[in-house]
Structure 1
Amino acid sequence: MKFKSLLLVGGALLTGTAASAGGYQVTLAGQKNNGMGGVGVGLSLDQAAMFYNPGALAMVKERGVQLGVNGTIARQAFRAENGSTQRELQNTTTTPFNLYAGFGPTEGKFRAGIAVYTPFGNKLQYADGWEGRFALTQIDLKAIYVQPTFSYAVTENLSVGAGLMVLALGSVNLQRDVPSQDSEGKFGSIELDGKAKNKLGFNAGVFFKPSEKLSLGISYRSKIDAQVEDGDVTFTGLSNTAAASFQATKFNATLPLPATTSIGIGIMPNEKLTIGLDVNFVEWSAYRTLRFDFDKPISDSKTGLPTTFSESKRNYDDALTFRIGGQYQVTSGLTVRAGGTYDNSPVKDGFLTPETPDADRITGTLGASYKFGEKFSVDLSTQFVNLKKRTITQQDLLNNGTTDRVAGTYKTQVVVPGIGLNYTF
């Protein structure tokens, strides 16, 4: 087994094709917002303001508790360069969730709350025997934040807020085949499994509503570096020759969970119609390289010398996402929603990987809410995500020094249904 092959595994460790945003970001933090193209920075819809703009929480009229869950159903196809067979991802479903609880005096100027959400993560599982099986067969990445939040209305029109973001749970499990066959002709495999250390960041925002028909917001979520220490490296089914070359049992790695700056506008032409427009700026340029440190030396396939670390190029670009959405109150109990998103990929040409086959994406969304009485309501949402077809050639890999990847063409589509339950008091 070659060191370059393990480097491919390392590249897969902490990345993935997220369902609803570029890179490995997930933006499914509020069910109402999901149905409106993900807008929310310039609006004060409900308790999910803790994620989109903590400054808007003080302007939310009702206190309450809400729980939401989404199912990301992905279909991905791959065709190797000069290949005739199209490989398809095995059906995978992930369930990013969100939980919010907001409190405060009915007529008071402040609101406090707690938010739990999943801003990064992904799950991929390629078909058996695909051309890139020595780079990746499957990956499962999770990052869960817990955010205590406080928001204060400085005036009737202006409010501010902030939350302490805690990376409460980060985990990764990935697997791939090894180009080493046993006596029965079966390939060996590698599994990497690790948990990230708890880390802190912050989420802050300002909300301004100069009139009943217009609102403005700006928010900033800070970067958190997810650090995996003493992750487990497990080899199975290796020949004796291959096993002798790899003695590592532990690894360390760090992945930036990037900062995001967002601005938003809310327009309310009348009491029934609300329109939102958001722009998100994600500082993906923090992700330049991915380095792995191993507990024991392994042999470098290029030099034949022992080494205890590796680095793989990423060179991500900062990226913008543009969102638009609206909701209309049909009756006192029924509200319908629709929206759309255009998301620029941070992955440069020549740097595409099997674990991040990302591309510019267009998303269409639909949603609805129905109230049962004064206190209970249900939110439904669906997103239809289409990533542009994207190709990386062997020449691209040679030009960029990224030959630790697989040349070919990727095409991905994702459907994301969601449901949320709300109780107000």
Structure 2
Amino acid sequence: MKLKSLLLVGGALLSGTAASAGGFQVSLAGIKNNGMGGVGTGLALDQASMFYNPGALAMVRERGVQIGANATFARQAFRAENGTEDRTLRNSVVTPFSLFAGFGPAEGKWKAGIAVYTPFGSKLQYAEGWEGRFSLTDIDLKSIFVQPTISYAITENLSVGVGVAVLAYGAVNLQRDVPTTNGQGQNGHVELDGKAENKVGFNAGIYFKPSEKLSVGVSYRSKIDATVKGGDVTFSNLPEAAKPSFQATEFDVTIPLPATASIGIGIMPTEKLTLAIDVNHVQWSKYRALNFKFNNNVGGAGITSSTSKRYYQDALTFRLGGQYALTEAFTVRAGGSYDMSPVKDGYVSPETPDANRIGGTLGVSYKAGEHFSVDVSTQFISIMKRSQTQAELQDNGTTDRVAGTYKTSIVIPGIGFNYTF
């Protein structure tokens, strides 16, 4: 058994089928923003500005607390090269959540706040006996970021802000079958389970509103290296003859969570109508390879490390959205997005079966009284069909992946509750 085949499962660290962005990035922070195609860099909608553009927080009129949650329902199909049957994933639901609390003087120049959000998370469970079971069968990923934020209005039209983005919790569980049969003709199994170390980055932005009808924002979220040290490796169902080749009990690995630069424009033709455009540039090219170290043998005597090629490329996401106040109580939203995949041809892997994706969104808010409101959003994401051949994998030296065709569609309902004061 080749070591790179064994370790492909580890490539899923902090990845999976991301809900609303390419690669393993997820952008589901604000429920209002979700209903508008994910725009937010050039707007000061509410306390979720701490995620999209900390510089806009000082321009948010009301102090408040909001909580939100989403549920991702994905349908993914895989057909092996020269195969005739589609393999679909077992049903699983992921529930990214967020909390934003903003404070400060009502008429002052500054605002401060705390943000808690889950920008990376996934759960994939492939069909029993699928062709890529020796690469991946299951992934369960969780992450929580905490971001204290401060924002200051330099003038009535210009504000800046910065947040300390802390990877407060990260956990991953990855599983695959081992192609070594026992006496009953069953395959072995390996499970990798680990927690990421706490790491610190930053999220900074500038917000400029030259008139009542126009606003512009620029933001930058820094790269963070997510590192697992001493994660557990568990082998099961191995025949006695194979056990000396699989003695590892711990693994170490580091994966870059890429930096994102964004620019956004908000246009307010009337008091009731807001339109916005965002462009995000994600620096995926920093992700060149995935390197593992083990404390003992994996796949053969003396083999305790491995490298899996990634060679991602930088990618752009284009977002468009708007909202319209029907009445004082009801506001409706709609939007769309086009997300370019960072994964090159011949590098698609089961834990990140990524391709260019098109999204459409809808949303509505209901204001129940002076201080309380409810937001609802729904996103529809279509990850375009993408194929790779065994010849491409051989040419790229990426035969630790599976030749075939992937197609994924995702529905993401969300709900949020807001209290302002």
Residue matched to 2:171: 171
In structure 1, the residue matched to 2:331 is 335
Cα RMSD, aligned residues only: 1.0
CA distance in 2, matches of 1:420, 1:78: 34
Q: 1:316 is matched with which residue?
A: 312
TM-superposed CA distance for 1:228, in Å, is 0.2
Secondary structure (helix, strand or coil) at the match of 1:297 reads coil
CA change 1:397–1:7 in 2 (3 A) is: same
Which of these residues, 362, 369, 380, is aligned with residue 366 of structure 1?
Answer: 362
2:384 is the counterpart of 1:394: no
Structure-2 residue corresponding to 1:83: 83
Q: Take 2:388 and 2:302, find their aligned partners in 1: how far apart are those partners?
A: 31
1:124-161 Cα distance to aligned partner (Å, 9 max, x none): 11010100011100101122110000000000000000
Comparing 120-129 with 181-190, which one deviates more in the overlay? 181-190
| Contact 1:289-1:311 within 8 A present in 2 as well | yes
State the TM-score, normalized to the length of structure 2.
Answer: 0.99
Following the alignment from structure 1 to structure 2, what is the Cα–Cα distance between the partners of residues 357 and 299? 26
Partner SS, residue 45 of structure 2: coil
Task: Go from structure 1 to structure 2 and tell me whether the alpha carbon gap of 1:230 and 1:176 turns closer, same or farther (over 3 Å shift).
Answer: same
> Any conservation in 2 of the 1:135–1:176 contact (CA below 8 Å)?
yes
CA shift, 1:258, in A, is: 0.5
| Distance in 2, Cα, partners of 1:90 & 1:284 | 29
Would you say 1:65 and 2:61 are equivalent positions? no
SS at match of 1:296: coil
Q: Which amino acid aligns with 1:411?
A: K
Does the residue aligned with 1:241 lie in a helix, a strand or coil? coil
The CA distance in 2 between the partners of 1:385 and 1:10, in whole Å, is 26
Deviations 1:71-108 (A, max 9, x none): 00000000000111110011111000110000001111
| Aligned equivalent of 2:263 | 263
- The aligned counterpart of 2:117 is 117
Unaligned stretches of 5+ residues in structure 1:
none
Contact 2:4 2:307 in 1 (8 A): no
1:325 aligns with 2:321: yes
1:166 and 1:12 mapped to 2: Cα distance?
21
Q: What amino acid is aligned across from residue 285 of structure 1 in structure 2?
A: S
* Counterpart-to-counterpart distance in 2, 1:125 and 1:152: 45
Shift of 1:17: 1.5
Q: Which residue of 1 aligns with 2:215?
A: 215
Q: Deviations over 1:398-421 (max 9, x none)?
A: 110001110000000000000000
Give the corresponding residue for 1:52.
Answer: 52
Q: Does 1:412 align with 2:408?
A: yes
Rounded to whole Å, the distance in 2 between the matches of 1:369 and 1:412 is 29
Q: How many Å apart are 1:299 and its aligned residue?
A: 4.3
**Residue 306 of structure 1: CA displacement?**
1.9
Indicate conservation of the 8 Å contact 2:54/2:163, yes or no.
Answer: yes
Aligned to 2:94: 94
Structure 2 partner of 1:351: 347
CA drift at 1:64: 0.4
Q: Is the 8 A contact 2:9 2:351 kept in 1?
A: no
Deviation at 1:388, TM superposition (A): 0.7
Structure 1: distance between partners of 2:103 and 2:55: 14
> Separation in 2 of the partners of 1:92 and 1:236?
24
Aligned equivalents of 2:376 and 2:299: distance in 1? Answer: 53
* 1:144 equivalent in structure 2: 144
Contact 1:13 1:192 in 2 (8 A): no
* Matching of residue 249 in structure 1 with residue 223 in structure 2: no
Please give the per-residue CA displacement for 1:150-185, whole angstroms capped at 9, x wherever unaligned.
000000000000000000001100111111233333
Shift of 1:15: 2.5
Partner of 2:200: 200
SS at match of 1:307: coil
Aligned residues: 421
Q: Distance in 2 between matches of 1:20 and 1:295?
A: 36
Tell me which residue corresponds to 1:24: 24
Separation (CA, whole Å) in 2 of partners of 1:97 and 1:72? 11
| Alpha-carbon distance between aligned partners in 2 of 1:299 and 1:410, rounded to the nearest angstrom | 29
Question: Matched residue of 1:413: which SS?
Answer: strand
**Moved >3 Å (runs of 4+):** 297-300
* Cα distance in 1 for residues equivalent to 2:183 and 2:281: 53
Contact 2:13/2:255 (8 A) holds in 1: no
C-alpha distance in 2, partners of 1:242/1:367? 55
Which amino acid letter does the alignment assign opposite residue 196 of structure 1?
Answer: A
Asked if structure 1 preserves the Cα contact closer than 8 Å seen for 2:189 and 2:236, the reply is: yes
Deviation at 1:121, TM superposition (A): 2.0
- Equivalent residue of 2:98, what SS? strand
C-alpha distance in 2 between matches for 1:201 and 1:133 = 36
Task: In structure 1, give the amino acid aligned to 2:281.
Answer: F
**Could you tell me the percent identity over the aligned residues?**
71
The alignment partner of 2:350 has SS state of coil
CA distance in 2, matches of 1:43, 1:4: 46
